[in-house]
Amino acid sequence: MAALRYAGLDDTDSEDELPPGWEERTTKDGWVYYANHTEEKTQWEHPKTGKRKRVAGDLPYGWEQETDENGQVFFVDHINKRTTYLDPRLAFTVDDNPTKPATRQRYDSSTTAMDILQGRDFTGKVVVVTGANSGIGFETAKSFALHGAHVILACRNMTRASEAVSRILEEWHKAKVEAMTLDLALLRSVQHFAEAFKAKNVPLHVLVCNAAVFGLPWSLTKDGLETTFQVNHLGHFYLVQLLQDILCRSAPARVVLVSSESHRFTDINDTSGNLDFSCLSPSRNDYWAMLAYNRSKLCNILFSNELHRRLSPRGVTCNAVHPGNMMYSSLHRSWWAWTLLFTLARPFTKSMASVGATMVEKDTLETRSQRKTPHILRAERSLRKHRGSPA
């Protein structure tokens, strides 16, 4: 084949010889695909053998991988001063499915975000992840960045955010990743972030609303709202509203809200329709940290459902996702008892890399109409009655 000849080797395997008009190429993360210039189409399977392949090993000494303005991967041979779209490692490919191509890839709890995105190229896509300096947010941001996306880490602590950016760049020095200030506990900060993002004059294809607090003692933000409610829900609600027009102009686009299975355990479950909105931002006497967290996660799902209903006709889908139970992230750092509990559960829960898989795989996300618990249905009825809209 051409890759073997280019590498200076003889082609002795006629079975792998490509038909006329076909070309062998690779993605950023080493998966082989085939381009048919006659029919102007691409496919993963070899046109003769039906096999899928990936390249093995690192690039030869003196070679470097680049990406052109159209997002196409090409290779630079610094020793011989030449460039090519042929990966020199194509001479040493290995079969991904040497017997029969799998009709459907199956994932489990150990699947990572990198596994989900394997073979996909997000060059030209812009992704914003809130709370991306650690935990689930970091794994999500890293996975998108290592697959070519322009990723913005929207974080309150810029020191930690800059460290997270450096960690991603250590894995791939050409990753397009940056940090921007966003404090969800201050609505003015949310507004400033939106203005700064708009000033970049770039599209927005994925917005992951991940940042959250858990187990906080009662406190009010500078906006006069209970902190857990504002950070976990209202701040993200405001952020999406401010960026809604950009999302619609960038369609197809997606908003992902990180909710929790604990949304089931709230006091927003009456059937009378008399929803007391003061319970969302309670006084000190009516506050319980766990219940406040659960309420905010139910609000995430209700918001996701309504946002999808309104924006999906404009090409913007919205999903709420439960990443898993008792993950050992930085979420529990507010109280030593929670940290102890999460530490004991750590051997039996998913890793952060596996949790990140839920953020990037759209087929596993809880969408607007799927799996609505009685708590969601009752809360939606209360909201409709409160607004005076028909059931």
* Residues with catalytic roles: 293
Cα–Cα nearest to 320, from 241, 390, 257? 257
> SS3 sequence, 51-107?
CCEEECCCCCCCEEEEECCCCCEEEEECCCCEEECCCHHHHHEEECCCCCCCCCCCC
| Separation of alpha carbons 304 and 321, rounded Å | 10
Using CA atoms of 282, 288, 292, 298 in order, give the dihedral in degrees to the nearest 10.
-110
111: Cβ contacts below 8 Å, ≥ 6 apart: 354, 357
∠ CA 212-218-221, nearest 5°, is 65
Q: Which amino acid, one-letter code, is at 185?
A: A
Q: Angle, to 10 degrees, between the axis of helix 289-311 and the axis of helix 235-249?
A: 20
CB neighbour class for 301 (10 Å; exposed up to 12, middle 13-18, buried from 19): buried
User: What sign does the dihedral 257-342-214-299 (CA atoms) show?
Assistant: positive
Q: Angle, to 10 degrees, between the axis of helix 158-171 and the axis of helix 135-145?
A: 40
Residue whose token pair is 């906080």:
216
Residue whose token pair is 């046109």:
47
